[in-house]
Amino acid sequence: MDAAALERHRIAEVGTATIASVYPRTVGRNSFRGSHGNGGRHEVIVLTTDRGHVGWGPPLGPVGDARRFVGRPVAELIDPGLGVAEEALPLDCALHDLAGVILDLPVHRMLGARGSTALPVYSGAIYLDDLDPAEAPAGISAVERNLALDAAAGYRDFKLKLGRGYRWMSRAEGLARDIEVTRLTRERYPDARILVDANDGYSIHDAAEYIAATADVGLYWMEETFAERLEDLLELRRLIDEHSPSTLIADGEYRPNVPVVTKFAAQGLIDVLLMDVLDYGLTAWRRIMPTVIEAGAAISPHAWGWPLKTLYAAQIGAGLGSASIVEGVPGTTTGIDASAYRFEDGILTLPERPGFGLPLTSDAIRR
Ligand SMILES: [Mg+2]
- Tens-place pLDDT, residues 196-213: 999 999 999 999 999 999
Cα of 253 vs centre of ligand 1, distance in Å, is: 6
Could you tell me if residue 190 is inside a domain? yes
CATH of residue 204: 3.20.20.120
Reduced DSSP (H G I as helix, E B as strand, rest coil) percent helix, strand, coil of the chain, to 5: 35, 25, 40
Is the bond leading into 133 cis (omega within 30 degrees of zero)?
Answer: yes
The parent domain of residue 63 ranges over 3-104
Same domain, 59 and 96: yes
Could you tell me if residue 360 is inside a domain? no
Smallest CA-to-CA distance from 327 within 162, 150, 125, 25 is with 125
Cα of 199 vs centre of ligand 1, distance in Å, is: 6
45 by DSSP, 3-state: which? strand
Same domain, 50 and 127: no
Same domain, 93 and 205: no
Cα of 303 vs centre of ligand 1, distance in Å, is: 9
Q: How confident is the model at residue 127 (pLDDT cuts 50, 70, 90)?
A: very high
Cα of 222 vs centre of ligand 1, distance in Å, is: 10
Same domain, 158 and 255: yes
For the entire predicted model, the pTM comes to 0.98
Answer for the pair 295, 266: CB distance below 8 angstroms, yes or no.
yes
Could you tell me if residue 291 is inside a domain? yes
Same domain, 83 and 132: no
> How many independent structural domains does the chain possess?
2
Same domain, 152 and 208: yes
Could you tell me if residue 145 is inside a domain? yes
Which pLDDT value is given to residue 365?
Answer: 75
Mean pLDDT for the stretch of residues 283-308: 98
pLDDT in tens, 142-199: 999 999 999 999 999 999 999 999 999 999 999 999 999 999 999 999 999 999 999 9
CATH of residue 87: 3.30.390.10
**E-assigned strand segments in 292-331:** 298-299, 326-328
Cα of 320 vs centre of ligand 1, distance in Å, is: 21
Same domain, 287 and 314: yes
- The count of C-alpha atoms lying within 13 angstroms of the C-alpha of 230, restricted to the half-sphere facing its C-beta, is 4
Could you tell me if residue 112 is inside a domain? no
Same domain, 123 and 99: no
Cα of 7 vs centre of ligand 1, distance in Å, is: 40
285/289 Cα distance (integer angstroms)? 6
Boundary-marking domain end, from 75, 104, 133? 104
Same domain, 81 and 129: no
